[in-house]
């Protein structure tokens, strides 16, 4: 009888971890060693040579991330941005990329500014509009970069359809799965070639470690190039950072479900609040991507945005008045964070000036509601 595949909650706790053979330790050790001994014949009996290429703690994390995303292999990086940068470097010069217009602003900066000397051309489109994606594809398109739910408007793009469009164009498809996490969405199951994660966010989960990862559906030539660049470029996380992210991963399903439940309650509450203009949350039936999100996700996530009446000044004032929720960038930690996005995204931003983004933590939802009510009552 075949063993049924393990559920994500079980993989989160067990994938990549084995009881330490020498000591019986249940918690994994950290392996800070940068270098590994050769045998007398010059070979490396344990497979490790030098930590930039591979490290045992990093390998444990990569095994866990690959299992969670349903991929064959994962490669860990020092940040989500470093993971994305490696994908763009692997394209070589003169590539054309189609990307979500409201992808993470740091990713768009890589595409527009950092990769400019490589003559990388980028078309930014609303990837929730499939006709716009098809129209943007060119003969030299090498990559389709999608982010769903997107940031900060929480737009939902059709994973099956986007993977199809990329495949028909002979382009590599990558999904930034940071907002959804593998608990809520697995792009590789929908035919995407690669998943990118900022493990700084939900995977780490405690706002205390920076990291990123790429996960592959198949170990093809492009994946070999990414692996080569991981070691040759050296944008790798420290063993201790890998250990922290792996520890965070164990509770990822629990945290994401709690944060999604809190976010759903807050979205409904804010939607009915007189000082709130509009709530952007795919769990609301009025959200244009709701039906699609219900189809391709196992929940709607812990991030929501909302616009307030009274313009930018009222938004900034609301953020100034919260006491429990922290005013900070980033998302996915156990503590709730609020941010005026237009301020951090800079002058080119398309984000509404009166928009606040809320990353909902694991606090009791009634306390969060009380805090936001107080901040909104001007
Ligand atoms: C934070 C974030 C990134 C960048 O990750 P870093 O770890 O900060 O480099 C990319 N995409 C999304 C959606 C993010 O939230």
Q: For 301-316, what is each residue's pLDDT tens digit? A: 999 999 999 999 999 9
Respond yes or no: is residue 104 known to be catalytic.
Answer: yes
Q: Which residue puts its alpha carbon closest to atom 1 of ligand 1?
A: 198
Q: Which residue puts its alpha carbon closest to atom 2 of ligand 1?
A: 198
Quote the ligand 1 centre to 150 CA distance (angstroms): 12
Pocket test for ligand 1, best of 78, 84, 104, 211 (most atoms within 8 A of CB): 104
Residue 2 has pLDDT above 80, yes or no: no
Respond yes or no: is residue 176 known to be catalytic.
Answer: yes
β-pairing, 276-280 with 121-125?
unpaired
Residue-level pLDDT at 213? 98
Q: Which residue puts its alpha carbon closest to atom 11 of ligand 1?
A: 104
CA-only gyration radius of the chain, Å: 21
The ligand 1 site (C-beta within 6 Å) comprises 79-81, 104, 106-107, 147, 151, 176, 178-179, 198, 200-201, 210, 212, 331
Q: Which residues pair with 176 in a beta bridge?
A: 147, 196
The active-site residue, picked from 58, 155, 201, 341, is 201
- Among all chains, which residue has been given the structure tokens 């045992």? 56
Instruction: Please say whether the dihedral angle defined by the alpha carbons of residues 115, 156, 365 and 249, taken in this order, is positive or negative.
Output: negative
Quote the ligand 1 centre to 257 CA distance (angstroms): 21
Cα-to-chain-centroid distance, residue 295: 20
Residue-level pLDDT at 349? 79
β-pairing, 96-100 with 121-125?
parallel
What is the pLDDT averaged over residues 185-198? Answer: 98
What is the pLDDT averaged over residues 136-141? Answer: 97
Residue-level pLDDT at 1? 60
Q: How far apart are CA 303 and CA 295, in angstroms?
A: 19
Cα-to-chain-centroid distance, residue 244: 17
Quote the ligand 1 centre to 76 CA distance (angstroms): 14
Could you give the percent of the chain with pLDDT greater than 70? 99
Quote the ligand 1 centre to 136 CA distance (angstroms): 25
Distances in Å between the Cα of 190 and the Cα atoms of 70, 73, 296 are: 11, 17, 9
Q: How far apart are CA 65 and CA 146, in angstroms?
A: 19
Tokens of 231: 């070691």
Respond yes or no: is residue 53 known to be catalytic.
Answer: no
Residue-level pLDDT at 54? 95
The active-site residue, picked from 58, 102, 155, 176, is 176
What is the pLDDT averaged over residues 201-206? Answer: 98
Model confidence at 348, in pLDDT bands (50, 70, 90)? confident
- Average pLDDT of every residue of the chain: 96
Residue-level pLDDT at 245? 98
pLDDT digits (tens, 9 = 90+) for 19-33: 988 899 999 999 999
What is the pLDDT averaged over residues 193-217? Answer: 98
pLDDT digits (tens, 9 = 90+) for 85-133: 999 999 989 999 999 998 999 999 999 999 999 999 999 999 999 999 9
DSSP strands (E only) in 78-221: 96-100, 121-125, 141-147, 172-176, 194-198, 212-216
Contact between residue 375 and residue 321 where contact means Cβ atoms under 8 Å apart:
yes
pLDDT digits (tens, 9 = 90+) for 145-166: 999 999 889 999 999 999 999 9
């Amino acid at each position: 009888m075949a063993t049924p595949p393990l559920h994500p909650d079980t993989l989160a706790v067990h994938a990549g971890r084995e009881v330490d053979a020498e000591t019986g330790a249940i918690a994994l050790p950290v392996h800070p060693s940068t270098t590994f001994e050769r045998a007398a014949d010059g070979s490396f009996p344990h497979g490790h040579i030098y930590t930039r290429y591979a490290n045992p703690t990093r390998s444990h994390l990569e095994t866990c991330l690959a299992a969670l995303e349903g991929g064959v292999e994962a490669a860990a990086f020092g940040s989500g941005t470093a993971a994305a940068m490696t994908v763009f470097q692997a394209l070589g010069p003169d590539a054309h990329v189609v990307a979500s217009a409201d992808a993470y602003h740091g990713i768009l900066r890589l595409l527009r500014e950092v990769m400019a000397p490589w003559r990388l051309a980028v078309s930014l489109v609303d990837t929730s509009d499939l006709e716009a994606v098809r129209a943007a594809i060119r003969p030299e398109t090498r990559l389709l970069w999608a982010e769903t739910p997107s940031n900060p408007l929480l737009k939902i793009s059709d994973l099956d359809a986007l993977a199809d469009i990329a495949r028909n164009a002979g382009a590599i498809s990558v999904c930034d799965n940071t907002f959804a996490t593998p608990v809520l969405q697995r792009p590789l199951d929908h035919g995407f070639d690669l998943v990118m994660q900022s493990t700084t966010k939900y995977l780490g989960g405690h706002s205390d470690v920076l990291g990123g990862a790429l996960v592959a559906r198949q170990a093809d030539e492009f994946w070999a190039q990414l692996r080569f660049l991981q070691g040759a470029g050296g944008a790798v996380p420290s063993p201790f950072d890998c250990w922290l992210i792996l520890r965070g991963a164990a509770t990822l399903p629990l945290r994401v479900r709690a944060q999604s439940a809190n976010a759903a309650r807050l979205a409904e509450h804010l939607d009915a609040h007189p000082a709130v203009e509009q709530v952007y949350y795919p769990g609301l039936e009025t959200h244009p991507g709701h039906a699609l999100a219900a189809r391709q996700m196992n929940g709607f996530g812990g991030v929501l945005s909302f616009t307030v009446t009274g313009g930018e000044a009222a938004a900034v004032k609301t953020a100034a008045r919260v006491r429990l929720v922290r005013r900070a960038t980033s998302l996915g930690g156990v503590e709730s964070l609020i941010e005026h996005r237009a301020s951090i995204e800079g002058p080119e931003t398309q984000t509404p000036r009166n928009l606040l983004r809320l990353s909902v933590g694991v606090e009791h939802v009634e306390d969060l509601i009380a805090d936001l009510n107080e901040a909104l009552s001007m």
